[in-house]
Amino acid sequence: MMPWGFVWRAVGALLWCVGATMMLPLGFSLAYGDGAHGPIVQSMGVAAAAGAVFFFPSRQGTPPSIGHREGILVVALGWIGAAALGALPFYLADTFPTFTDAFFESMSGFTTTGASVLTDIEKVPRGLLLWRGLTHWLGGMGIIVLSLAILPFLGVGGMQLYKAEVPSPVPDKLRPRIKDTASLLWKVYILFTVAETALLMAGGMDLFDALCHAFATLATGGFSTRNASVGHYQSAYVDGVVILFMLIAGINFSLHYQWLTGRPLALWRDPECRFFLYATAVFIVLCAGSLYGTVFDTIPGAFRYAAFQVVSILTTTGFATADYETWPPLTQVILFFCMFFGGSAGSTGGGIKCLRIILLIKHGYRELMRLVHPHAVSQVKLGGRVVPADVLHSVWGFFVLYLALFVVLSLLMAALGLDMVTAFSSVAATIGKIGPGFGAVGPAENYAGLPLAAKWLLSLSMLLGRLEIYTVIVLVIPEFWRP
Amino acid sequence: MEKHLNLDKIINPDEELVHTIERLIAVPDAEDVRELAAGRIQLVAVRVPAESPLKGKSLIEVGRMADGLPYIIGAVFRNETLIVPMGKDVLLAGDLLYVASDKDHIGKVLAFFGCRGKPPENILIIGGGDIGLRLARRLESRALHVRVLEKDRARCERLSEVLRRTIVLHGDGTDQAILMEENIAQMDLVLSLTGDEETNIVCSLLSQRLGARRLITRISKFAYMPIAQAIGLGRVVNPRLSAINSILQYVRRGKIVSAVSLKGEEAEVLEAEAIADSPIVGRPLKDAKFPKGALVLAVVRGAKPTIATGQTVILPGDRVVVLCARKAVPQVEQRLSVQVRLS
C-alpha cells in the first residue's frame, strides 16, 4: 500500500516552498516597477492554495521509513508540480501565447536545461526574468540533493557508488541524510552563487544581470537575460568568469565541500573529476584546432570561443557567445558529441555524466582484455577500488535507456515534421539538459517555432533526463504500483 | 613495528625471497646474485656455456683475455663440488663461477663471461600466493608486463582487486593449454612460485619445453636442490636460504660485519674489518699465507671498493671481503684475529 498521505504532504510542502521563493522576483519587480508584480502575487496565492489542497487532507502521519517507491514518487511529482507552478507567473503575465509555452519554459528552468521559447528576452519584465533564472537555481538545489542524497540511496544508474562519499553524519538513513547533506551542500552552492555574482558585477554587470547569470551558471541552466546570451557582453572577462563557474558547477559538489573544508587536493584525487577536466581540455583543444584558421585568425580568439562553447555544452549549461552553427562541420560534430557527455555525477550538470562514461570505457576495455586472455580474472576499478557488478549493470542499463529514449523521441520529433538535425539535436539538448541544439533550435534561434506536441514531448524529455531516466520510467511499470 | 617492539630487525622469509628474486631478475643469466659491502660489490654466479671461448682456459689465461677488467673468480662449483680456484686451474663447460666485481664494472664483467641477456619485460608468475603477490606488486611498479597464473578462483578475484596493472589469470600452471594460450614461448621469464615444490618443478619443466626463455623455480626442500640442478633448472630460489642469508648478517658479530652463505652451506663470504695486529695486514696478499680454501675477494677502503689481486695490500681499518669454504671458516676467523661470539 502506497503511503499516499506522505507523498501528497511532501508535494504540498514543496509547492509552498516554491511559492515562497517568488518573494525574490516580486521584490525585483516592485523595485523596477515593471508591472509583473500582479501575476507573481497571484501565482503565490495559487501556490498557497494548491499546497494546502495537497497538504491538509492528507493528515496521516509520515510512515516510519521512506522506501524507494515513495522517494521516487515524491521526486517525480515534486518536479512536475514545481514546473507547473513555475509556469503560472509567465502564463498570467501573458509572456507566452499558450500555457504549453509557459510550462515548457518553466520545466526547462526547473530541470536546469535552458531551452527557451522566448523570442525577445529583453522585452520581458525583469521580475519574470529573475523568476526564470530562479527556477534554474531552485532546480539546481533540487538536483544536488537528488543526485547526492537520494539517488545513491535508491541505487539509480550507478549513483550508489557515492553512498559513502557524501558528507553526512548518518550514512545509511535516507531522511536525516537528505537534511544534512542539503544543508552542507547548499551552503557551498550559495557561496559559489554569491562569488560569481560579485565577480560578474566587478566586470560591469548590474546586480540583476549578474544574479540571473549566476543562477543560470551554478545550476548549469543557461537562461540568460539577453537575446545574445553571454555573447551580449563581448567581454573576455565575463567569458572567463562564466567558464570558471560552469566548470565548478560541472564538478561533484561533495568534492567542492571537501576542498572547501580543508582537503585542497580533493578535486585532483577524484578520478571522475580528473577525467572531466582532461576531457574538457581535450575537447577544447580539438575545437580550437578546428576553429583556428577557419573562423578565427588568432589562437587566443579560437581558444576563447572554443573554451566557452565546449565548457558550456559539456557542463550542459547552454550559454552561447557565438553562433556555433556557422562553425565548421567538424566543430559542430564535436559539440554534438559533447551534448551526450555531461558533467560529473553529483554536479548540477546533466547528460550521461563522466562517472558512467569512465565505467563504460573501463568495462569495455575489460571485455577486450577477455578476448585476448580468455582466462583472465579482472575487475573494473575506479580510484583503485573495485566497482561492484551491480553498479556496472545499472550504468549499462542507464546508457541503454538513454540511447533508446534518444532514438524514440527523435523518431517522434521527426514524425511531427521536424528535419533530421533539429529532431536529433532538440532531443539530445533537452534530455542532456543543454538547451540550445542545432538546426531550427540552434543558439541563434529557440524552441518557440516547434509544434505544440513537440514542446510537450521535449518537456517530457527534459524531465526524463533530469531525473536520471530510471526514476521516471519506473513510474510507468505496473510492478511499481503493485503492493 | 620494529621500533614499537624494540627489535633491531624483523625478517620476513617471504619478503627476503622476493628480494632474492628481484636481484636474480636484474641479472638475467645469473643463477645467484649477492650484494656485498653494502651493495658496493656484487657476487654473481654464472655458468660457463658449452661453446664458451673461456672453456679449457686457465684462470691466468682468462685474466689476460679480460684485458684489465676488475674481477675475481671466488669460487667454482663443478658437479656440486666447491673449488676455491688458483691461477692454474682450468675452466670447464658447465662450471658455475662465482664472480665478484664492483658495481660499476659488473655489467662488463658479466658480458665477458657470456651473460648478455636483457632484463626481462614479459614475466609470468605461476602461483599467486603471498610471494607471487608481493613479487607482482614490486614488478608492476617497475612498469614490467606481469601476468600471474593462479588456480584458485577466489584468490584470483582477490589478486585482481589488489594488483593494478598485472593481468591475473585463472588456471593451473601444469595445464599445457593455458600456458600456450598465454603464449609462453614469448615470455622472457617464467617464475614457478607456488607453495608446492613438485608442482613448481613440473611447471618450470613444462614452460621450458614450451619455449620459455628463462626460469626461476621456488624449491623449499634442500634435498631437491641438487636434483633441480641435474634436470636443468639452474635458477632456484629457496625461502629458507634467503632467510638464512638475511639472518647470518646479524648473527655473526664482533669484527665480522656480514656473512653470506653460498650453495647451501658449502661456502661463506665474510666481511671483516682488518685490525692492526692481524697477520694479513701490511703485506701483499700473495705473501699473506691465507689458509687453503679461502680467498680475499675485495678490499673496501673508505667507500672505495677494490677487487683484490696478489699485489693488494690490506691496511688496518680496511673492510676485507673473504670467500671461504666451510671447513676453512674457523681458520680464517682466527687469521683475522677476530673475536667471534654469537649475540
Q: What is residue A310's predicted lDDT score, i.e. its pLDDT?
A: 96
Reported pTM: 0.81
Residue B60 has pLDDT above 70, yes or no: yes
Say yes or no to pLDDT of B302 above 70.
yes
- Examine the pLDDT at A92 and tell me if it is beyond 70: yes
User: Long-range contacts: A385-388, Cβ < 8 Å, 24+?
Assistant: A386/B161, A387/A161, A387/A359, A387/A362
- Closest residue to A375, CB basis, from B157, B161, B170: B170
Contact A376 B169 (CB under 8 A): yes
Q: Does the distance separating the beta carbons of B161 and A377 come in below 8 Å? A: no
Split at pLDDT 50, 70, 90, the class of B193 is very high
Can you tell me whether residue B90 is helix, strand or coil?
strand
β partners of residue B81: B78
Verify whether the Cβ–Cβ distance A373 to B169 is below 8 Å.
Answer: yes
* B146 shares contact with chain A (CB less than 8 Å): no
Instruction: Note the pLDDT of residue A169.
Output: 47
Of B160, B161, B181, the CB nearest to A374: B181
Section B268-286 average pLDDT = 81
Q: What is the mean pLDDT of chain A?
A: 90
Model confidence pLDDT, tens digit, residues A159-205: 777 766 655 544 445 566 677 778 888 999 999 999 999 999 999 99
Please say if the pLDDT value at position B339 is more than 50: no
CA A447 from centre of chain = 18
Instruction: Mutation target for A interface from B161, B162, B175: give the one with most A CBs within 10 A.
Output: B161
What average pLDDT score do residues A425-433 get? 95
Least CA distance to A373: which residue of chain B? B182
**Spatial CB neighbours of B61, under 8 Å, sequence gap ≥ 6:** none
The number of CA neighbours under 13 Å toward the Cβ of B168 is 26
What pLDDT digit, counting tens, does each position of A27-55 carry? 999 999 888 899 999 999 999 999 998 88
- Per the structure block, which three cell numbers stand in for B159? 589478486
| Distance (Å) from the alpha carbon of A381 to chain B's nearest alpha carbon | 8
Question: What whole-number distance in Å separates Cα of residue B134 and Cα of residue B147?
Answer: 13
Check if A386 contacts B (Cβ < 8 Å). yes
Interface probe with B: pick from A366, A368, A375, A385, most Cβ of B within 10 Å = A375
Give residue A288's pLDDT band: very low, low, confident or very high (50, 70, 90).
Answer: very high
Interface pTM (ipTM) of the complex?
0.73
Does A385 have pLDDT greater than 50?
A: yes
Where b means 16+ CB within 10 Å and e means fewer, A194-220 reads ebbbebbeebebeebbbbbbbbbbbbb
pLDDT at A160: 76
How far is residue B338's CA from residue B343's CA, in Å, rounded to a whole number? 15
pLDDT digits (tens, 9 = 90+) for A146-160: 888 778 777 777 777
- B148 touching A, CB under 8 A? no
pLDDT at A48: 93
User: Are A376 and B170 within 8 A, CB to CB?
Assistant: yes
- Best to test chain A binding among B168, B175, B179 (most A CBs inside 10 Å): B168
Percentage of chain A lying above the pLDDT 70 cut: 94
Arithmetic mean of pLDDT, A246-275: 90
More confident residue, A121 or B118: A121
Q: Is the pLDDT of residue B285 over 90?
A: no
**Which residue carries 629458507 as its cell?**
B240
Q: What is the mean pLDDT of residues A94-116?
A: 94
Instruction: Verify whether the Cβ–Cβ distance B181 to A375 is below 8 Å.
Output: yes
Q: Are B136 and B148 in contact (CB under 8 A)?
A: yes
Residue A210: its pLDDT value, please? 96
Higher pLDDT among residues B9 and B175, named by residue: B175
pLDDT: is A385 or B169 the higher one? Answer: B169
Check residue B254 and give its pLDDT: 55
For residues A60-80, give the mean pLDDT. 77
Q: Does B124 touch chain A (CB under 8 A)?
A: no
State the average pLDDT over residues A454-464: 95
Question: In chain A, whose CA is at the least distance from the CA of B166?
Answer: A378
Q: Is A377 on the interface with B (CB under 8 A)?
A: yes
Percentage with pLDDT > 70 across chain B: 94
Q: How many contacts (CB atoms, under 8 Å) link A and B?
A: 35
The pLDDT of B145-161, averaged and rounded, is 94
Q: Looking at the predicted structure, is the pLDDT value of residue B121 above 60?
A: yes
Chain A nearest CA to B184, separation (Å):
13
Residue B1 has pLDDT above 80, yes or no: no
* pLDDT above 50 for B167: yes
